[in-house]
Amino acid sequence: MKIIFTSIFLLAGVLVIQAQEKTNKKGSEYKFTTVKNLDASAVQNQNSTGTCWSFSSLSFFESELMRLGKGKDYNFSEMFVARKAYPLKADNYMRMHGRTNFGEGGGFPDVLNVLKRYGMMPEQAYTGKKDPSAPHNHKLMETTLKNVLSVTADDNVTKIDFESLHNSVENICDNFLGKVPEKFDYNGKSYTPKTYAEATGINPDDYVFLTSFTHHPYYQKFALEVPDNWNWELMYNVTLQELQETMSNAIMTGYTFAWAADVSERYFLFNDGIALVPEKPLSAMTDEERKSLAIKPTKQLAITPEIRQKAFDNFETQDDHGMHVVGLFHDQNNTPFYLVKNSWGTGNECDGYFYASENYLLYKTTSIMLHKKALPVTLAKKLGITQ
């Protein structure tokens, strides 16, 4: 196991070279210089599920344990987290009479919620698949769960059996994902999910959520209005400049961060290993200019709080995807790019990673999760956070 994870670390260390070799086959002119590149575990694949929030959060926590010197052989079970989150979402959906979101999606707070309530498990102890060789696929399970819960959204229904419906949800999850063991053996020791989580040393209270929007006061917490924030978790609202400084400070001081963002834009070019925000609108570009976005650097759009807010209010920026930011690079024009670990397998030009311009992060970020010590000291004081 250590050999495998060491190989992944070395791969991340030479990712710039390998990415250039691959993109050069398509005539890429991008040349990235490492500013800071941090440890990350192996790229995973969420397959046909909407559980990116679990994959990205657990990738983040695996990097956290590397940062803390706990080793590189951690591989947490994303499906344990998803399995425990589904009934929580179902209970909330029933209590809200179906007037809230229910589905595969979620957010970073869901992982901390599961960690606090139930603990954690290694992938080896719970895969969430009855057939180990099959890819993850929750479509049929989601449909089945929604059909069972649909009665709670019916205005003609005046009474439900909450306990019976809850038990049905638990049974459906067990049927599709497998029953979670109460105890398991791992690396020669016996654990429960709770004792395993305690053994990792991860303290959920050490992690904070940040966002930046103008429709709420700065330096206060608010519940971000996105459908997957089904539990109305609160996050700190900071200025755009402070969000920028926080992301840079985190990487430069050795902390990775979990990143929630919109990835629906046509300049999010995952297969080519790059995401950016061109200054010139796509609608004003020629076909040749659009094709060149993944090939050579272009001037980036300057992002302001007003631009960012308008995109959010107009649904152009939505809470599409959770990812894990692990490094900072500059292109040949000194434009900052963050190295992002995704959970869509290793089939793109950068073996599952991609480079996202700082402008893209400033424009399309909905929230980030990071250790409180990764915050700039002045911002932590403004927020009343003790580091």
Domain map (residue ranges) of the chain: 2-383
Q: What is the pLDDT of residue 132?
A: 87
Confidence of residue 3 (pLDDT cuts 50, 70, 90): very low
Give the DSSP H/E element, type plus range, for residue 273.
none
Query: Phi/psi at 274 (nearest 5 deg)?
Result: -150, 150
The C-alpha atoms of residue 127 and residue 6 are separated, in whole angstroms, by: 22
Q: What is the pLDDT of residue 55?
A: 98
Residue holding tokens 């700065």? Answer: 218
Q: Which residue has the higher pLDDT, 324 or 24?
A: 324
Confidence of residue 18 (pLDDT cuts 50, 70, 90): very low
Instruction: Read off the amino acid at residue 232.
Output: W
Instruction: Read off the amino acid at residue 174.
Output: D
157-161: average pLDDT? 94
Give 330's Cβ-side CA count (13 Å radius): 6
The C-alpha atoms of residue 382 and residue 87 are separated, in whole angstroms, by: 37
Q: What is the pLDDT of residue 1?
A: 29
User: Taking the alpha carbons of 324, 330, 331, 337 in that order, is the dihedral positive or negative?
Assistant: positive
Query: Phi/psi at 328 (nearest 5 deg)?
Result: -130, 130
Residue 371 is classified by DSSP as E
CATH number of 2-383: 3.90.70.10
227-250: average pLDDT? 97
Q: What is the pLDDT of residue 270?
A: 96
Q: How many helices (H) and strands (E) does the chain have?
A: 13, 13
224-250: average pLDDT? 97
Residue 4 is classified by DSSP as H
- Reported pTM: 0.92
Burial of 17 (0-12, 13-18, 19+ CB in 10 A): exposed
Q: What is the pLDDT of residue 26?
A: 57
Q: What is the mean pLDDT of the chain?
A: 92
Q: Write the CB contacts of 375 (distance below 8 Å, at least 6 apart in sequence).
A: 208, 246, 249, 250, 383, 385, 387
User: Taking the alpha carbons of 293, 299, 328, 364 in that order, is the dihedral positive or negative?
Assistant: negative
Q: At what angle do helices 162-177 and 78-95 cross, to 10 degrees?
A: 160
The dihedral region occupied by 315, where left means phi > 0, alpha psi between -120 and 50, and beta the remainder, is: left
